[in-house]
Amino acid sequence: MSAPNPPTPAWGLYERLLPAEIEAIHAAHPVAYLPWGALEYHGKHAAVGLDGLKAHGLCSALARTAGGLVLPPVYVAANTIKTAPDLAHKRHSLDFTENTLRVLAREHFAQLADERFRVVFTLCGHVGQPHYDIIKDEAAQFNATSTATRIIATSETDLIDKSIVIVNHAALGEVSFLMHTAPDCVDLTRLPVDRVPSLEQDAVWGPDPRESSAEKGAAYTAAFVAGAAKLINTTLASL
Ligand SMILES: [Zn+2]
């Protein structure tokens, strides 16, 4: 007789669950996933919600492996491309103040700790600065005073080897993630055919997005899940 398969980790989408379902998953895996996105122009070829869609897709894939509850994305961001002084991409972004971001981060962490999650895995799909550092700073401030709940604040490229995917905006990495997780939110035919896309003209920063594919997105996701699951397990063991 072959060995039985290990039980599938219990996981779910928080906002879609009944209290008893939440309690069952929480009892097995007291881990919350908080995808943090933005509504930000990502060129003519990608949806403005890319960062949140990407973070939510990655958190869902991670929860399938590590167990726990995935919250809906927070779509409030500061330091979007709208405010970049040298760029003319002023439409299709909602840009909030850094103070609003701080308050939202602090209150999400406090409320999720109040719900007795042991680990809150905060995945920043938007890494504009100081937006990203603000969320990490609020996490560090929370962790300095809490022993029962640990906040992890990170981004996908911090958990994947740079030989696989690097930090980018609307380029090969982000667009491949999106093609994997939400293919209807990408249209590669809107990219230029006769020149390499640029930051100034196309809001593309990083490797050529015309090479993007769902298959690459799946490979990047697998690399992310491996790194992130290890981090969550190490963190849970340290508590
Ligand atoms: Zn992005």
For the stretch 135-146, pLDDT in tens is 999 999 999 999
Residues with CB under 5 A from ligand 1 (ion): 50-51, 174
Q: What is the pLDDT of residue 4?
A: 59
In the reported structure, the alpha carbon of residue 223 is separated from the centroid of ligand 1 by a whole-number distance in angstroms of 18
- pLDDT one-digit tens code per residue, 49-96: 999 999 999 999 999 999 999 999 999 999 999 999 999 999 999 999
Report CA(239)–ligand 1 centroid distance (Å).
Answer: 32
**Measured torsion, CA atoms of residues 176, 54, 166, 98, in degrees rounded to the nearest 10:** 150
Q: Is 0.85 topped by the overall pTM?
A: yes
C-alpha of residue 114 to centroid of ligand 1, in Å = 30
Query: Would you say residue 220 has pLDDT above 90?
Result: yes
pLDDT digit string, tens, across residues 146-197: 989 999 999 999 999 999 999 999 999 999 999 999 999 999 999 999 999 9
Q: What are phi and psi of 228, to 5 degrees?
A: -70, -40
User: By the 8 A CB rule, do 197 and 208 touch?
Assistant: yes
Confidence at residue 3, expressed as pLDDT on a 0 to 100 scale: 57
CA 42 – ligand 1 centroid, Å: 7
Distance between Cα 203 and ligand 1 center (Å): 10
In tens, the pLDDT along 8-33 reads 899 999 999 999 999 999 999 999 99
The CATH classification of domain 11-231, taken from the options 3.40.50.740, 3.50.4.10, 3.40.50.10310, 3.40.190.10: 3.40.50.10310
Mean pLDDT across the chain = 96
Cα 149 to middle of ligand 1, angstroms: 28
Reported for 15-24, long-range contacts at CB under 8 A and 24+ positions apart, including other chains, are 15/71, 15/72, 17/69, 22/69
